Amino acid sequence: MIDFELTPKDQEIINLAREQGKIAQRYASYYDRHEDELPPEQFPEANGLPNPIDLAEEASDSSGARILHSLVMHEIYGAGIALHRSRWGLGNTVLDTVAAPEQIEKWKNHTIAIAITEPGAGSDPANIRTTATFDRETDEWVLNGEKIFISQAESADAAMVFSRFVDANGQRGMTTFLVEKGTPGFTVGPQLRKLGIRSHDTCNLLFENCRIPEFNHIRGDFKSTMSVFNDSRPMVGAMALGVAHAALDFTREMLAKSGIEIDYRGSIRSRSAITDRFLRLEATFEAALLTVLRSKWLEQQDVPPKVEASIAKAAGGKAARKITQGCIELLGPEALAEDHPLDRCFRDGRIFDIYEGAGEIQRLIIARSILDYTSRDLR
């Protein structure tokens, strides 16, 4: 039986994340307007406070670290910014999944971004054009290409780069390379100006005859590398729902100030149109959150949640779009004032629907599973 019951320790960590999220809201507007300026690794108010993300990952008496982690991320990202910067990137998951023991040992304390998305390829890694050619004389790989919209690009210590390759025997395929900051030929671009999630570290990466040693070849194939998204896609869904939750809380507060209290006890016939619409938005939120929790529960049972991860990502992103827009419609033009959070929530929610694989891509993955179609059938 699926059980999402939390232990007292779980609830304590979630409450800590919620309180830190409220503190972080003080900085949300500033970094939304100053997107060229990265938030610090730790804000002054976080001095001496434990990082709830670390606590979630290390909890030994938890009902489930995977579920707890997703709920913590949900609480933190309602403000669009975290008091503590994450120590790990998605590239760390690739390292732990497919790297050799000696490679894991060397880079286990590094923050590693993942670099897949390219101009013209978008969310389709099969169409990437970055190449790595083996130089037999120097025992090095020569990397050429460009990656775009890379999270943690500036703050990470290295990037896990997905590339096509041609080895010493002329064999071709797709694989991954770890490229450390400071490697000649590896350039990190400026912070990108984005519609939403403006406080998030996002840059383009350029590789121009970038030489990396054979030891940096992680040898992650397409399937094993893409499997890491089974973990990250529900997390993005949880973050999107954090934004939606913040929008619902703000809307409930503003309606109350206008004399409109949300009545959860009245029948459908006695509800006002505003109350009915708000409750429907809340129901959308609850349903989407359950898809995230189910995906993480399956992961805890060692069941690869590929389709469930896509469902969680698609449902979370769509719910964030629908809820933030619905809240704006309930409050009217006043909701778009810069000193109100709905403007940011709406923009952030739209990005989360695209981030980590657009909703349309997730629905294709779901359709292929349900209908037993190949990628060729859906062209």
213 and 151 in one domain? yes
Domain boundary (173, 198, 221) is at: 221
Both 341 and 274 in a single domain?
Answer: yes
User: CATH code at 182?
Assistant: 2.40.110.10
38 lies in the same domain as 162: no
Q: Are residues 104 and 190 in the same domain?
A: yes
Average pLDDT over residues 151-164: 94
Q: Which domain holds residue 137?
A: 99-221
pLDDT in tens, 79-133: 778 888 778 888 998 999 889 999 999 999 999 999 999 998 766 777 889 999 9
At 230, list the tokens.
Answer: 């089974």
Burial of 38 (0-12, 13-18, 19+ CB in 10 A): middle
In tens, the pLDDT along 295-351 reads 988 888 888 788 999 999 999 999 999 999 999 999 988 777 776 789 889 999 999
For the segment 3-17, what is each residue's pLDDT rounded down to a tens digit? 667 788 888 888 888
- Looking at the fold, whether 250 and 283 belong to one and the same domain comes out as yes
Determine the Cα–Cα distance for residues 235 and 238; give it in Å rounded to an integer. Answer: 5
Residue 84 falls inside a structural domain: no
pLDDT, position 264: 83
E strands present in the chain: 112-115, 131-135, 140-151, 158-166, 172-180, 186-188, 202-213
Pick the catalytic residue: 19, 140, 356, 360? 356
106 with 216, same domain: the answer is yes
Model confidence, pTM: 0.88
Same domain (yes/no): 64, 107: no
Give the pLDDT score at 375.
Answer: 67
Kindly state whether residue 379 falls inside one of the protein's structural domains.
Answer: no
Range with the largest mean pLDDT of 79-93, 178-192, 257-271, 322-336: 178-192
- 57 catalytically annotated: no
Residue 313 shares a structural domain with residue 337: yes
Q: Are residues 136 and 58 in the same domain?
A: no
For 26-65, how does the pLDDT look when each residue is reduced to its tens digit (9 = 90+)? 888 888 888 888 888 888 888 888 888 888 877 655 556 6
| Residues 207 and 242 occupy one common structural domain | no
214/280 same-domain check: no
Is residue 188 situated within a structural domain? yes
Residue 249, pLDDT score: 92
Task: Show Cβ contacts of residue 113 under 8 Å, excluding neighbours closer than 6 positions.
Answer: 89, 90, 91, 150, 151, 152, 153, 156, 158, 159, 160
pLDDT at 60: 56
> Does 345 share its domain with 277?
yes
Distances (CA, A) of 203 to 71, 319, 376: 27, 27, 33
pLDDT tens sequence across 233-250? 998 999 999 999 999 999
Query: What pLDDT, on the 0 to 100 scale, is given for residue 64?
Result: 63
Q: Quick: pLDDT tens for 203-236.
A: 999 999 999 999 999 987 777 777 888 888 998 9
- Which of 171, 201, 221 delimits the end of a domain? 221
| Number of folded domains that form the chain | 3
> What pLDDT sits at residue 59?
66
Q: Would 35 be classed as within a structural domain?
A: yes
Residue 83 domain-assigned (yes or no):
no
